Structure 1
Amino acid sequence: MKTDSWLLLLYGLPTKRNAERVSLWRKLKKFGAVQLKSSAYVLPDNPANYERFQWLSKQIQDGGGEATLIRVAQIEGMPN
Structure 2
Amino acid sequence: MHLTAPATRRTAARDADGMAVASFILGLVGVLVLNLFLGPVAIVLACVALRRGTTRRGRALLGLALGIADLVVLFAFMQVDHTVSWSF
Specify the TM-score bucket, using the shorter chain as the normaliser: 0.3 to 0.5
Bigger Rg, structure 1 or 2: 2
TM-score by length of 1: 0.39
Higher RCO by CA contacts (8 Å cutoff, separation 6 or greater): 1
Structure with a larger share of its residues in helix: 2
TM-score by length of 2: 0.36
